[in-house]
Structure 1
Amino acid sequence: MHAVRARWTAGRAGPALRCGGGRAAANRPPGWVRGLAGGGGSSSRSGGGGPGSSAGDGSGSGSGSSTGSSAGSSAGSSAGPSVPDTDVADRRRGRAVNRAYTSSLLATSRFKGRGASLSTPLRETEADAVAVEEPRKARTEFDYSVRPETFLHVVGRNPPESFLQYPVVTSAALAGRSRAERPRGTTMLTRDFIDDSLYNPHYGYFSRQALIFSPQQPFAYNSLESLDEFVDKWSSDLKRYDKVLDRDPKHPELIPQLWHTPTELFQPYYGQALARYLLVNYMLTLYPYRDLVIYEVGGGNGTLMLNIMDFIRENQPDVFVRTKYNIIEISSALAAKQAQPLQQRIETLGYADKVKIINKSILDWDVTVHDPCFFVALEVFDNFAHDAIRYDNETNEPHQGHVVIDDKGDFHELYDAALDPLARRFLDLRAKLYPGTDWRAVRGHPLATSKRWRKLKEMLWPLSHDLSLPEYIPTNYLRFLDVLRDRFPHHRLLSADFTTLPNATPGYNAPVVQVMLQKQMITVQTYMVLQGYFDIMFPTNFELAAKLYTEVCKKPITVESHRSFLEQWADLDATTTKEGDNPMVSFYQNAAFLCT
């Protein structure tokens, strides 16, 4: 049974953390965060290991197992460069070490910009990685014990009667409540639970303290010797946030989260690449008959908007006078933050009548925009909530996941063969787009595992109720496409996101669930964590996303790799070092663009 103990408790520390380097090891998270991440479960149900056993290997060896060992990776290990601190001499041991690290960095720069590599990216050698055993010590902080992959409840197979009596609530209903308490005694679809965890205005992840890394001034790439020097400059710039990130908050609600994105890291050149794309397509098809109208979802600090507007004003002043830029931001905290740099620009650049910030979820958009417009969505799809689907090992019948939150605040996973209309629609659309596809032949898909092997696993661990590992389907992405089709009928989409994310939870198209603490990235192996404390991010299947877009919006669309898009639209000379390295092109190798 998935269970999260939401209670004050005095327990023992969880399983071993794996940290890199001595200083990182000494900078382990406090006990209450280890609890959030799955440490310290003291239950020992049948077949379960003790508090120190780990479910990170996917063995699901019992209710007493925890995600702590998987969770305890060092900063950035879930989705980016994970490198502990070393002394200055170690960082200057020669070009061979530097190049070895840079190669590793490029490989691991297939990272989630937000939440990835949130520690200072310094050098690491193989010998630096050490396993650190957690000392056992009493504590009186929060203990939220996560026990994934041990028992599934299935409607029609004798789940606890109380589960079926709890009312079903949606994330929208919870967002409308005036109270800040997390719900109890309720049942939610998996996508509603994830959406509530991320976006609830009272306790959601994006409603909490958020810092977005922005360099003090753009990096002068042409004056840098190599990619290694760029990494050093970046590392030095990140130290400005040490005072905030190193503090040990006395309450978990106060944990600061630092994100970084390619827009911020490579400003203004990244935004200028998108501005060129927008300008060229506007000039070829709409100018001079229509205004240039841009909608951006999730504007962060407003940096992308500023870079695009600056570029248009400097290069196409005749287009600038008829440009309108709208930022749609669901986070009230970020919407307020966006107003600060805009206010500073208004007086000097005359943006007051051109830029508008709308604090609203794009999925709740209810105004039809009839004008032709460009719709920009960078790193938006990865935080669209997904539904969990498991398949019957005998019949392959899909079952949809629900999260039951009992009266004590514990989480339980309940599956039902009755699919809601959105999940059924997605599966039907996918079957239409991939006619005749045998999902048993699709690598990694739950149905790709032979029935014989699945039955054997069921015999060895019968508490899974003969269901497969989960598949996470992008149902809220489908809702997003409906909004584009119905409310922005003449739009053109420009979006970018991540094709793969390392250290994901078990399953197909599964999310990365992580939180940053004192420059360490803590990952866990279940999405059922205390709402608002963890970022929950999904990879995007761009081939499927493009097919769904064309099917729903009836518009052609192309998929381009991050590198190919920038090679076509960016000023590569401006971001090239003396040795010919280009960080903007080399980083984010796991990202891709969708372009209408």
Structure 2
Amino acid sequence: MLVRDFIQDSLYNPNYGYFSKRAEIFSPVESINFNEIAEAAEFDATVARLYREYDESSDPRDIAGRQVWHTPTELFKPYYGQAIAQCLVSEYLLKYYPYEDLVIYEIGAGNGTLALNVLDFLREHYPDAYDRTQYHIVEISPRLAERQRKLLLPRHPMVKINNQDIFSWSSPVAMPCYFLAIEVVDNFAHDALRYSLNGLKPYQGLIAISSNGNIQEAWEPAQDPLILKYLAYRNLTKHKAPQIASSRFQPYLYQLRRLLPFAPNLTEPEYIPTKLMTLFELLAQKFPLHRLLLTDFYHLPDSVPGYNAPVVQTRLKNVMVPCSTLAVQPGYFDIFFPTSFETMRDIYEAILSRPISASTDRASRPSPMSTSALPYRLGTEFFTSNPFRSGRRNPLDGITSTSGLPVGQRRSSVYTHREFMEKYATVSSTQLQSGENPMLDFYQNVKFLF
């Protein structure tokens, strides 16, 4: 099977998948009082103690195979979720209030903590926006969907939980909305590519499992439509394969290497986010007026060999053990990837800029502030041949500014974790007595796309 199919099966198979059966999201019972902690060493000790208490409170029969991992949403609750809420409501009040509802979609909501923190914050600080809020969760796991219902519905009845895979979404959403992918896409399945030293032709990765259970990798000329589509998008954005773009790449050295006896005839593997690309296409088709807020890792230590390579690890006796290969027993190992944010931002914008054919069921609904953008097209192009070169997308028909002229959404930007938190979070809430701030100092290998 293709590498992406092997990863998808390993993580999400309903009978033995890692997330279906073994993964648990660590969540402190009470929020940490950061202002009462002296310094970072004490904070680390506090987190370690909470981990032990979490394990001791669990069913001992489950501990052997259980995989526990933490997220910034849980570790810094409610302040992390409040930063997300401030980001969303700031733009909503500027662009849509009071003409549109605040519509939020979140995929992979975990324990439901982020949704709870966002909605609690809106209800307390922006009650008028809260009254106009619709919150939709798309959750593939029945177990987590039930946990989210128990947590959220008694406090925020407007929440709607859709227990399904986002990739099976079929109903177009015509209204403007915000789409959250928070700490989700690192576990999206990737494909593997290598390039021939003679001509740099791409080869797609396969996982072969023998009758006696041996798992190994194999390679064949790239022919999968999703892989070829990703390569076409990347070529369109002028980004290159990391092996080729590297300053160490010299074609004549590859030619010499090819002539050595027993030398490999392919480059090191590169892992490409075909599943994330598919999500971008789905958003463009089914949520045409969305604004995406995405955050995840852009760099990971202890990864398997290759470019944009994943970390493959499992928890053994309360210690995370990294592996050196992707070819591991399905269901027992977490497989998560870094994201090349700058490359994926450009691919995302390229997908959004594609013309949508009339045969698609893309929703289109004018803003209540407008009628149709078509009569104003000439006006937008009167003073310049390229009015959107300053970082804005082409306008959609029916979406106008208050001046009556068509307006395009601004293009997405990439922020470091610290930049985003300093802009939207109340950082004083997570500052230690020493002046250190774990919410700013931790997760320095994380970025935001918004």
What TM bracket, shorter-length normalisation? 0.7 to 0.9
Secondary structure of the 1:395 match is coil
1:565 to 415, 420, 427: 420
Cα–Cα, structure 1 residues 441 and 274, in superposed 2: closer, same or farther, change >3 Å? Answer: closer
Note the alpha carbon deviations across 1:324-379, whole angstroms, 9 max, x for none: 11111122222222223225xx1xx3x22x11111222222222111111001111
Cα–Cα, structure 1 residues 249 and 321, in superposed 2: closer, same or farther, change >3 Å? Answer: closer
Secondary structure of the 1:545 match is helix
Matching residue's letter, 1:533: Y
Note the alpha carbon deviations across 1:509-533, whole angstroms, 9 max, x for none: 1111011122111211121211111
**Partners of 2:248 and 2:90 in 1: how far apart?**
40
Partner of 1:301: 111
**Partners of 1:449 and 1:524 in 2: how far apart?**
34
Q: How does 1:277-292 map to 2 (within 5 A)?
A: 277-292=87-102
1:470 pairs with 2:274: no
Cα–Cα, structure 1 residues 362 and 398, in superposed 2: closer, same or farther, change >3 Å? Answer: same
2:323 to 512, 524, 529: 524
Cα–Cα, structure 1 residues 435 and 320, in superposed 2: closer, same or farther, change >3 Å? Answer: closer
1:451 to 247, 254, 257: 254
Structure 2 portions without partners, runs of 5+: 354-392, 394-410
Shift of 1:479: 0.3
Shift of 1:218: 1.4
Partner of 1:225: 38
Partner of 2:135: 325
Q: How does 1:535-574 map to 2 (within 5 A)?
A: 535-554=334-353, 555=393, 556-574=411-429
Shift of 1:409: 3.3
Matching residue's letter, 1:386: H
**Partners of 1:430 and 1:378 in 2: how far apart?**
24
Secondary structure of the 1:336 match is helix
Q: How does 1:576-587 map to 2 (within 5 A)?
A: 576-587=431-442
Secondary structure of the 1:450 match is helix
**Partners of 2:248 and 2:180 in 1: how far apart?**
31
Matching residue's letter, 2:254: K
Q: How does 1:423-434 map to 2 (within 5 A)?
A: 423-434=227-238
Matching residue's letter, 2:108: G
Structure 1 portions without partners, runs of 5+: 1-187
Shift of 1:437: 8.5
**Partners of 1:231 and 1:190 in 2: how far apart?**
37
Cα–Cα, structure 1 residues 248 and 503, in superposed 2: closer, same or farther, change >3 Å? Answer: farther
Partner of 1:507: 306
Shift of 1:215: 1.7
Note the alpha carbon deviations across 1:416-459, whole angstroms, 9 max, x for none: 214211111111211121178995342588x8893156426x62
Q: How does 1:67-78 map to 2 (within 5 A)?
A: none
**Partners of 1:416 and 1:516 in 2: how far apart?**
33
Cα–Cα, structure 1 residues 491 and 208, in superposed 2: closer, same or farther, change >3 Å? Answer: same
Matching residue's letter, 1:450: L
Note the alpha carbon deviations across 1:450-502, whole angstroms, 9 max, x for none: 3156426x6245xx5x2222111111111010111001100001111101001
**Partners of 1:535 and 1:521 in 2: how far apart?**
10
**Partners of 2:208 and 2:245 in 1: how far apart?**
33
1:383 to 183, 187, 196: 187
Identity of matched residues, %? 45
Shift of 1:587: 0.4
Contact 2:243–2:268 (CA under 8 A) maintained in structure 1: no
Partner of 2:368: none
TM-score by length of 1: 0.63
Which deviates more, 572-581 or 556-565?
572-581
Q: How does 1:113-512 map to 2 (within 5 A)?
A: 188-243=1-56, 255-343=65-153, 346=154, 349=155, 351-352=156-157, 354-434=158-238, 440-442=244-246, 450-452=253-255, 454-455=257-258, 459-460=261-262, 464=264, 466-512=265-311
Secondary structure of the 2:171 match is coil
Shift of 1:244: 6.8
Cα–Cα, structure 1 residues 416 and 244, in superposed 2: closer, same or farther, change >3 Å? Answer: farther
**Partners of 2:277 and 2:247 in 1: how far apart?**
23
Secondary structure of the 1:459 match is coil
Cα–Cα, structure 1 residues 436 and 568, in superposed 2: closer, same or farther, change >3 Å? Answer: closer
Matching residue's letter, 2:292: L
Contact 2:173–2:287 (CA under 8 A) maintained in structure 1: yes
Shift of 1:232: 2.1
Secondary structure of the 2:46 match is helix
Contact 2:222–2:228 (CA under 8 A) maintained in structure 1: no
Note the alpha carbon deviations across 1:559-593, whole angstroms, 9 max, x for none: 00000000010001111122211110010001000
Contact 1:441–1:448 (CA under 8 A) maintained in structure 2: no
Shift of 1:503: 0.7
Partner of 2:383: none
Secondary structure of the 1:581 match is coil
Matching residue's letter, 1:432: L
Cα–Cα, structure 1 residues 276 and 391, in superposed 2: closer, same or farther, change >3 Å? Answer: same
Contact 2:190–2:273 (CA under 8 A) maintained in structure 1: yes
Contact 1:245–1:519 (CA under 8 A) maintained in structure 2: no
Cα–Cα, structure 1 residues 244 and 436, in superposed 2: closer, same or farther, change >3 Å? Answer: closer
Secondary structure of the 1:526 match is coil
Shift of 1:299: 0.5
**Partners of 1:323 and 1:444 in 2: how far apart?**
51
Note the alpha carbon deviations across 1:220-274, whole angstroms, 9 max, x for none: 1222222222222222212113337896879xxx601111100000000000011
- CA RMSD after TM alignment: 2.3
**Partners of 2:36 and 2:239 in 1: how far apart?**
54
Q: How does 1:34-45 map to 2 (within 5 A)?
A: none
Secondary structure of the 1:536 match is strand
Number of positions where the alignment pairs a residue of Structure 1 with one of Structure 2: 394
Cα–Cα, structure 1 residues 438 and 509, in superposed 2: closer, same or farther, change >3 Å? Answer: closer
Contact 1:256–1:517 (CA under 8 A) maintained in structure 2: no
Contact 2:2–2:206 (CA under 8 A) maintained in structure 1: yes
**Partners of 1:406 and 1:472 in 2: how far apart?**
24
**Partners of 2:248 and 2:139 in 1: how far apart?**
34
Note the alpha carbon deviations across 1:374-420, whole angstroms, 9 max, x for none: 00111112111111111112221111112223333332323221421
Matching residue's letter, 2:236: K
**Partners of 1:526 and 1:437 in 2: how far apart?**
21
Cα–Cα, structure 1 residues 396 and 580, in superposed 2: closer, same or farther, change >3 Å? Answer: same
